[in-house]
Chain A
Amino acid sequence: MVFNTGAALLDAIVLAVVSREPEGTYGYKITQDVRKVLEVSESTLYPVLRRLQKDGCLEVRDVEYGGRNRRYYRVTPGGEAQLRLYIREWASYSEKISRIFAEVGR
């Protein structure tokens, strides 16, 4: 990865990853899923998840798992709307850049 991008894209990817699980998903799994597409460090996602939670894009609940409580994250309706916005923005942004690149190929 040679491109430097701001944190908004990471917000979008995290929201997308969490929204794939209607029942919610947990920190370790979110990190592993994001790492399949992006080389994020293990400590990157906590501040992002916490902020998205405070902004009302994510909601948390503790579910008992293996004798302890595991915190599950789920996208809120507000988070869904935010994710739709990100996806639209990304589509138009990447489409414009791809078009420029495609002209070079010809």
Chain B
Amino acid sequence: MKKEEFLRELAYRLRDLSPEEREEALAYYRDYLEDAGPEAEAEVLRELGSPAQVAAAIRAGLRGEEQGEFSEHGYGDPRFRGPAYPPGRPGGRGSDAYGAGRGPGGRGPDAYGTGGEYRESHGTERKMSGGMVALLVVLCILAAPMILALGLGVGGGILGLLFGIAGTALGLMLAAGGLTLGLLVGGIACLGGGIFGWAFFPLGGAAACFAGVALLGLGLLALALSIWFYGTAVPAVFRWIRRGFRRLFGRKSRGGEAA
């Protein structure tokens, strides 16, 4: 692995730190490699270990939990050994860790073997925030006319029912969170509108009330499911994905070393 590659991957691995901490660490290691000079660069990079190991040590330091100790192999932190933190590869052999088989300077769009995974995880983050924005927009759209409908009273039951259905449909599209909110909001709207509407259209109002209660019940059920979904299932899936990435990454790097 070359100096620039090392620094680039280190920057990537520190991307969630504050800009100040990230710049500080990157400046230190850029300085360090410059001061080592071109002759010692490969040796120093090998000794530093993988960017993953270096990043883990930086993070542990920031959390104030350096647990390093002296042993017969010198000073080190036993937590950063093992498959999750693959050791660095000897540099200057023409084959680097992530682009085995590519010539030096071969920086195609997929120069890192793991590039695809990185992009994938970026995509997930973007999709999630997009979903949140969409949810907020839908909620605003749903909430504004609903307040109006309730204020007007007459016809509220029918409007509420329509919005309840719309809420339910949109909620279904937005998966658990949207579903729950749509059901709850739609249910309340139906019930409220129904009560107002009762005075004018007894049959329609009663039907809207009934629909409202049913929607509320479903909403509460969905809420319980969402709490489990967001509280337990989603973090578990994320943990599982992260472990998978780590295992995959470790295996890949070792494969690169053997090659």
Contact = CB atoms under 8 A, between A and B. Distances in A.
Contacts of B228: none
B48 A43 contact: yes
A1 B36 contact: no
Contacts of A42: 32, 44, 47-48
B75 A10 contact: yes
Contacts of B69: 4-7
Contacts of B31: 26-28, 70-71
A41 interface: yes
A47 interface: yes
Contacts of A26: 31, 35
Secondary structure dominating the interface of B? helix
A3 interface: yes
A46 B53 contact: no
A39 B73 contact: yes
Given A4-B69, A10-B68, A28-B32, A43 B74 contact: no
Kindly state the interface size class of chain B when it binds its partner.
20 to 34
Interface stretch (B21-29, B152-160, B174-182, B247-255): B21-29
Contact of B70 (A1, A29, A70, A71): A1
Nearest to A4: B69
A27 B25 CA distance: 11
Nearest to B61: A47
Given A41-B76, A46-B57, A68-B34, 13 more contacts: A4-B69, A5-B70, A6-B69, A39-B73, A41-B47, A41-B75, A43-B57, A44-B68, A44-B77, A46-B25, A47-B66, A71-B27, A71-B28
14 contacts: A2-B72, A6-B69, A10-B70, A10-B75, A26-B35, A42-B44, A43-B48, A43-B53, A50-B24, A50-B28, A51-B61, A68-B34, A70-B35, A71-B27
